[in-house]
Amino acid sequence: MSFDLVLFGGTGDLTWRKLMPALFQAHKHGTLPEGARIIGVGRDDLSDERYRAQIQARFDQVDLAKRPSAQEFDRFAQLLEFVSMDLSKPEHYAYLRDKLAQRQADTVVMYLATAPTLFTTIVEQLAAAGLNTPQTRIVLEKPLGHDLASNRTINHAVGQVFTEHQIYRIDHYLGKPSVQNLFALRFGNALFEPLWRREHIANIQITIAEELGVEKRGAFYETTGALRDMVQNHALQLLCAIGMEPPVNAHADAIRDEKLKVLRSLKPWSAEALAQDVIRGQYTAGNITGTPVPGYRDELGVNPTSHTETFVALRTEIQNWRWADVPFYIRTGKRLAGRDARIVVNFRPAPHAIFNSQAGAVNRLVITLQPRDGLELHLLAQAQDKRQHSNHLAPVQLDLDFDKRFGQERVGAYERLLLDVIEGRLNLFVRSDEQEEAWRWVEPILTHWQADTQGPRPYAAGTWGPSATSALIARDGYCWSEEC
């Protein structure tokens, strides 16, 4: 199968940080179909050779394990070409059309890795140039808009030009191996399903903690913040994967229908809940693994009096029969105490304790996404301590290390998702109605913050966020998994 991948934003950050490394890995693993051509699009006037040299130089900043050798890069570079375009000029799209027509690839993928403000222009111009053929798929990177209205505008414009099954809205968290494992765990095994409900689960905690700050993206982050950057998409998609009903089959729409139902069942925000159940924070100077780092307001491109949040913690509920009254906590932030992404499912304690040290202990299922993919089941077992003659229990863990079982060379999120686009699998992409529902749900929080002059709570870099985050969960009688 031949295909052309056109990367709008071909000289941008995402291209060299994520997309090129992912495409190179797929090439190296032999999973990129034969007959691939990758066309970077950007404003600069670059020859193919210069573009290849630029991409090669950028690989120096990629993880060592994912860098190509000179020979490997030479082979990969044969796939790369460059087209200089002013995205507002119809004649430049005509040139692109002619270039694509020379080859008549079976599939053409248009990847929009530009600022979302350009999405509408690009799709309209693609249509005007006749580049929305049935063989074409379009990939839209997040953020897709900055609120419900702008999201709808983009979705509407794209929907005028492409049908929904041609549109691939990326949320790279859905491409992470642990998230696919979560689907496998829930819907490929019978073991957990009877327990996966309010009768047995006390609360669920979703944490996406990063050690990194905003890096060089201060200007972008200023108008985005953690709620739009992480909660509206990644965290809510994880919540859907945990909370959804078993789909009737594995088709994209069956899965997406169930995720949509979860989003529609999220507890609507009352004024009281907005005040009590959502915490926003902003990092101040601190230490990350022993190295001093500046506060958010001192980062490049950031307003020194900024109210942009770099941390969000919130409590919500899925209002349906399965989950009524079970709290779901979401927490995400930059410059936190560790690079640590996990979903913790806390089960209810045994109804009656007959062992010593059993009281209050709970079984816990932990799905880890970072720093490694894994799954732990925390249980109690008879302590094997010779001095203890009593019926004394101690915690043990069933620990499934997927890296060990399946090898280190796991398929990364972007690699997996790019191959899915090329092969036409929509399961791990977000449908427009899901995305709109997620915006609808976060919007009252954004409105509430706009009216709140207090701004985010400060937290020192290298901690777990504002102290109010512990209080949020303590109100329900629980604690974050690293605290208890």
β-pair type (36-42, 3-8):
parallel
Q: By C-beta, is 210 or 373 nearer to ligand BG6?
A: 210
For the chain, the first-to-last Cα distance in angstroms comes to 53
Q: Find the shortest distance in angstroms from Cβ 25 to ligand BG6.
A: 15
Q: By C-beta, is 201 or 341 nearer to ligand BG6?
A: 341
Is the Cβ–Cβ distance between 214 and 154 less than 8 Å?
no
Q: Find the shortest distance in angstroms from Cβ 207 to ligand BG6.
A: 11
3-state secondary structure of 367: strand
Q: Find the shortest distance in angstroms from Cβ 184 to ligand BG6.
A: 20
Q: Buried b vs exposed e over 330-348: b needs ≥16 C-beta within 10 Å? A: bbbbbbbbbebbbbbbbbe
Which residues on adjacent β-strands are paired with residue 465?
Answer: none
Q: By C-beta, is 105 or 341 nearer to ligand BG6?
A: 341
Q: Which residue is nearest to ligand BG6 (CB)?
A: 229
Distance set, CA 220 to CA 118, 136, 217, 239, 395 (Å): 15, 30, 5, 26, 45
Peptide bond into 327 cis (omega under 30): no
Residue linked to tokens 């950007």: 42
CA distance 359 to 354: 9
Q: By C-beta, is 161 or 208 nearer to ligand BG6?
A: 208
Q: Find the shortest distance in angstroms from Cβ 128 to ligand BG6.
A: 31
- Indicate which residue of 165, 234, 251, 307 is catalytic: 234
Q: Can you state the percent helix, strand and coil of the chain, rounding each to 5?
A: 40, 25, 35
CA distance 371 to 338: 9
CA distance 452 to 276: 13
Is 234 tagged catalytic? yes
DSSP H helices in 105-173: 119-128, 148-161
Q: Find the shortest distance in angstroms from Cβ 337 to ligand BG6.
A: 15
Instruction: By CB under 6 A, name the one of 4, 81, 229, 373 that touches ligand BG6.
Output: 229
Q: Find the shortest distance in angstroms from Cβ 210 to ligand BG6.
A: 6
CA distance 480 to 332: 13
Go through the chain and tell me how many residues it has: 484
Dihedral angle computed from the Cα positions of residues 176, 229, 430 and 261, in that order, rounded to the nearest 10 degrees: 100
DSSP H helices in 334-409: 402-406
Q: By C-beta, is 9 or 327 nearer to ligand BG6?
A: 9
Q: Find the shortest distance in angstroms from Cβ 341 to ligand BG6.
A: 6
Residue 340 within binding range of ligand BG6, rule CB under 6 A: no
Q: By C-beta, is 233 or 346 nearer to ligand BG6?
A: 233
Q: By C-beta, is 234 or 297 nearer to ligand BG6?
A: 234
CA distance 311 to 478: 20
**Nearest residue to 407 (alpha-carbon basis) of 182, 236, 189, 177:** 177
DSSP H helices in 282-412: 402-406
Q: By C-beta, is 175 or 243 nearer to ligand BG6?
A: 175
Instruction: By CB under 6 A, name the one of 4, 210, 436, 437 that touches ligand BG6.
Output: 210
Q: By C-beta, is 314 or 341 nearer to ligand BG6?
A: 341
Number of shown-chain residues binding ligand BG6 (CB under 6 A): 3
Show the site string, 154-193: x = touches ligand BG6 by CB under 6 A, - = not. Answer: ----------------------------------------
Q: Find the shortest distance in angstroms from Cβ 171 to ligand BG6.
A: 8
Q: Considering all CA atoms of the chain, what is the largest pairwise distance in Å, rounded to the nearest integer?
A: 84
Q: From the CB of residue 357, how many other CB atoms can be counted at a distance below 10 Å?
A: 16
Is the Cβ–Cβ distance between 80 and 52 less than 8 Å?
yes
CA distance 192 to 180: 16
Q: Find the shortest distance in angstroms from Cβ 250 to ligand BG6.
A: 24
List all residues 6 or more positions away from 445 whose beta carbon is below 8 Å from its beta carbon. Answer: 227, 269, 274, 278, 314
Show the site string, 370-409: x = touches ligand BG6 by CB under 6 A, - = not. Answer: ----------------------------------------
Among all residues, which ones are annotated catalytic? 234
| Site for ligand BG6, rule CB under 6 A | 210, 229, 341
